[in-house]
Amino acid sequence: MKKLITGIALSGLLLAGVNQYAQAATDAARQQLNKFFTEMNSLQGSFTQQVYGKQGKLIQNAKGTIALNRPGKFRWVYTSPDPQTIVADGKNIWIYDEDLEQVTIKPMRSAMSAAPIALLTRKQAPDAQFVVQPLNSRAGGLNWFKLTPRKKSKDFRDVQIGLNKSGIRQMIMFDQLGQKTVIQLNVKNNIPIKGNTFFFKPPAGVDVIGKPS
């Protein structure tokens, strides 16, 4: 009986130790998430993007380059398969579709629907915009969190973010139509970016829809 009691006690101690370790790991990952959102000033690099339909079929496979400067400025360029440039200059969003030879200008309040990178433009803890839930996953060797908008978005339901000590490496967005967008980031944080990166002038001869504020 004593051996049984001792075994149960040891099992309880081991379980408590495992739970404490798991909680410590979660707390450390949460600190990484908060640090990225509050201390990252800029990032630059490349991305790949896959979009899956409601039934899980791949419907788009794209890649390109990104640059971001907080607060409110980014350049998101699709280089393939369909060239497109999206620039936020702090006041307006410029969307240039090369195939259509068309530039659309939107106010910054539309940034959330213009490009996934817009999620990262605010320099504040994620709790201000989202309900943050840690996920029990180490997929890709990353720590994962689910972020659900506190105010319902017409564009997406929630986003999962995978990050490590270097910052965010993956984003998985689920929209209101059941589509899933997977973004892989290969970027460097807090590096100098030229100011004209976030300036856009419509090319001569293209149609321009909207006016800058």
Determine how β-strand 102-107 pairs with β-strand 207-209: parallel
User: Which residue ranges make up each domain of the chain?
Assistant: 32-209
Residue 172: left (phi > 0), alpha (psi -120 to 50), or beta? Answer: beta
Q: For residue 212, report the phi and psi dihedrals to the nearest 5 degrees.
A: -70, 145
pLDDT for position 5: 56
pLDDT tens per residue, the chain (213 residues)? 555 555 555 555 444 444 444 455 568 889 889 998 899 999 999 999 999 998 999 999 999 999 999 888 999 999 999 999 999 998 999 999 999 999 999 988 765 554 556 678 888 888 888 899 999 878 888 999 999 888 877 778 899 999 998 889 999 999 888 899 999 999 999 999 998 999 999 999 999 999 998
User: Residue 82 contacts by C-beta under 8 Å, 6 or more apart in sequence?
Assistant: 62, 97, 98, 99
DSSP element (H, E) containing 114: helix 111-114
Q: Output DSSP code: residue 20.
A: H
Question: Model-level pTM?
Answer: 0.81
pLDDT for position 116: 58
- Report the distance separating Cα 208 and Cα 96, nearest Å: 9
Cα Rg, the chain, nearest whole Å: 21
pLDDT for position 190: 93
pLDDT for position 119: 73
pLDDT for position 17: 47
DSSP helix/strand/coil, 192:
coil
Residue 85 near residue 99 (C-beta atoms within 8 A): no
DSSP element (H, E) containing 167: strand 167-175
Residue 199 near residue 93 (C-beta atoms within 8 A): no
Superfamily of domain 32-209 in CATH is Lipoprotein localisation LolA/LolB/LppX (2.50.20.10)
pLDDT for position 110: 61
- Report the distance separating Cα 166 and Cα 143, nearest Å: 12
How far the first Cα of the chain sits from its last, in Å, is 79
Please name the amino acid found at residue 203.
P
pLDDT for position 122: 82
- Report the distance separating Cα 187 and Cα 45, nearest Å: 4
